[in-house]
A and B are shown apart, each in its own frame.
Chain A
Amino acid sequence: MTQPVIQSDRDANGVYLRVSGDLVTQSLDMVEKAFEGFRADSNELTVDLSKVGALDTGGAWLIADVARRAKASGANVHYEGLKPAHSALLETVAENIPDDPGVATEKRSFTDWVASVGERTAQAGKDMLSLLGFLGLTLHRLVRTILMPRRLRKAALVSQMEETGLKAIPIVALMGFLIGVVLAFQGATQLKQFGAEIFVVELISISVLRELGILLTAIIVAGRSGSAFTASIGSMKVQEEIDAMRTLGLDPIEVLVIPRVVALLIMLPILGFIADLAALIGGGLMSWIDLGVSPGMFVTRLKENTGIWQFAIGMIKAPFFALVIGVIACWQAMQVKGSAQSVGQRTTASVVQSIFLVIALDALFSIFFSVMEV
């Protein structure tokens, strides 16, 4: 490829612009500035193209642009040494230069910003309504499924249970075990100071069974399965699969949402139970190593001082968390529009919202149960 060069000179007949070399898109950066800076300050402009090697639309655009600007300032433009192959291209390009090139970049003013705040607030309200509507719809289909169990997609349900439940057991168990270890270790350090080491059993059992076990399990499931729900149903939305389902007389809620929500309703309590168990084992092990509380002592104290209600309170919350995670994830998926980017945004929103709502709901439960004095 020969490097493109432009030169301009003038004589009595006007200004000459001499172009030589290969004027192709790949090499335009070398002459771009020169073309841009060129001004035909005369009434006659002659563009000499006899030494041009290869020419493509990019190069033709630069020449056509010079000619256009010269014409706009009232000059006559002639071409010299124009090869026939180039002339057709130059003509096509000149014809196709848009009248107002370039999409102007939008500038945002302060009022735009204020307006966007208002729009977002209104949108948040609308979203809330839409989410409530979706929750109602899901509950309606759920009740219908319970009344008519034949409508339940059993194959989908089992596969979702495997995906969201069975495959989550290792991570949930490990998380629970570590939580138990950490609580025992940190609790022991504090409790040792006033000789109340034995209370580490209550510390672990009550905090894990009542709050941490199920809460952290729900957070892991929200991140793991909630995101998967949104991404998979969301991509189906992009591919118009949801619309296709509707036209085939299939109810997307029944086919896609119910198996996922039911799978979570069944699996989240089980996962929570596994996390509880793992945390007690981890805590017991750590108490034994660090404080010398034997496993026998740990179990006896657990039975005597931690009522069944502590465990029940944790388990009662599980289905509510499951419903929140499932409904938010599926609702976000249904909000996906058009692009792959939208799937990503909705997946992020799904995880953030469901984790937030799970924690908020947990706080509400906490208040409720303490008022009820259980």
Chain B
Amino acid sequence: MDGTTLEQTSKSDAQREAVIRVRNLTNQFGPQVVHQNLNLDVWRGEVLGIVGGSGTGKSVLLRTIVGLNRPAAGSIEVLGVDVLNGPEQERRRIERRWGVAFQDGALFSSLTVLQNVMAPLREHTGLSESLMCALGDLKISLVGLPQLSCGKLPSELSGGMRKRAALARALALDPEIVFLDEPTAGLDPIGAAAYDELIGELQHALGLTVFMVTHDLDSLYAICDRVAVLAEKRVLVEGPIEEMTKVDHPWVQEYFTGPRARAAQEKGQDR
């Protein structure tokens, strides 16, 4: 929550602080090995985009880091705490310092949008009802939803609005790290661009670290400071998106120099 760390992506390795440190991670479902000896660092204050072909385990990596999936081997440290083997209490405390927005929102279907956003506040803070309500309103307004949607049920919202509401809930406790799973999938180009912009703005205003699984080349060019490519069961390359075109690997070449990538690149430069 220290705004001075925003510019750190340009600094040397020694100066930047890793908020997520994944070492030698191995994930296996039956005979199928998804990750093998995967290493990844996420620096404070950056937007990291995770890309990879279908089935390379992008979502599995996200779920593993937030503790929804137990890996076969390896270690994961988030904000200096070992989330796999650390003491229960510390892990609980860490969970309040990150927020997760799932692909389809995963909002509680029996609660209104405002109640959804207030749910973590109600659970983890001792604030009064009126303040929780006000903070819920603020978060909903921050993600660009109209006040009218506060009282609506998730089933009454469009897909894009549900994604925004999910982001509002993820931000409810003012986390330091936000995990986004395919945030722009299923949105129209205008909605997706607006969502990218929103994430960028919030990241600057709130000093967030964003871990984003995405397929959207536009998002990668527009807001990601760094990109990590998952392939061959590990992080194949990581670095600024401009460097990706120089990587000599067939999939990476195809992904970052294909016609869609070129279009996205031009668009990204226009901004």
B-binding residues in A (CB < 8 A): 24-26, 28-29, 32, 54-58, 61-62, 65, 83-86, 88-89, 92-93, 96-103, 238, 337-341
Contacts and interface: CB of A to CB of B under 8 A. Distances in A.
A49 B112 CA distance: 36
- Which of A24, A25, A99 gathers most chain B CB within 10 Å? A25
Nearest to B6: A85
A287 B54 CA distance: 69
A340 B110 CA distance: 7
Contact of B2 (A58, A65, A85): A85
Contacts of A29: 125-128
Contact of B131 (A32, A97, A340, A341): A32
B1 interface: yes
Given A58-B174, A96-B141, A339-B109, A28 B3 contact: no
Contacts of A58: 127, 135, 174
Contacts of A62: 131
A57 B3 contact: no
Contact of A24 (B131, B142, B147, B174): B174
B177 to A, nearest CB: 13
A225 B153 CA distance: 30
- Which of B133, B137, B138 gathers most chain A CB within 10 Å? B138
Given A25-B121, A98-B137, A339-B153, A92 B205 contact: yes
Contacts of B137: 97-98, 101-102
Given A25-B173, A61-B134, A89 B127 contact: no
B206 interface: yes
A29 B129 CA distance: 11
Given A24-B174, A338-B109, A85 B207 contact: yes
A56 B174 contact: yes
B110 A341 contact: yes
Question: Interface residues of B toward A: which range?
Answer: 35 or more
B151 interface: yes
Nearest to A345: B110
Nearest to A84: B3
A97 B153 contact: no
26 contacts: A24-B1, A26-B96, A26-B124, A32-B128, A55-B1, A56-B1, A56-B206, A58-B135, A61-B135, A61-B138, A84-B3, A85-B3, A85-B4, A88-B204, A88-B205, A92-B201, A92-B205, A97-B141, A98-B137, A100-B147, A101-B137, A102-B133, A102-B137, A103-B112, A339-B154, A341-B110
Interface in B8-32: none
B215 interface: no
Contacts of A55: 1
Interface in B159-202: 171, 173-174, 201
B2 A54 contact: yes
Nearest to B150: A103
A304 B118 CA distance: 72
B139 A341 contact: no
A340 B174 CA distance: 28
Given A54-B2, A103-B114, A339-B110, A28 B125 contact: yes
A214 B138 CA distance: 60
Contacts of B205: 88-89, 92
Contacts of A61: 134-135, 138
B125 A25 contact: yes
Contacts of B204: 88
Nearest to A340: B109
A26 B92 CA distance: 14
Contacts of B1: 24, 54-56
Contacts of A338: 109, 153-156
B121 to A, nearest CB: 7
Nearest to B148: A103
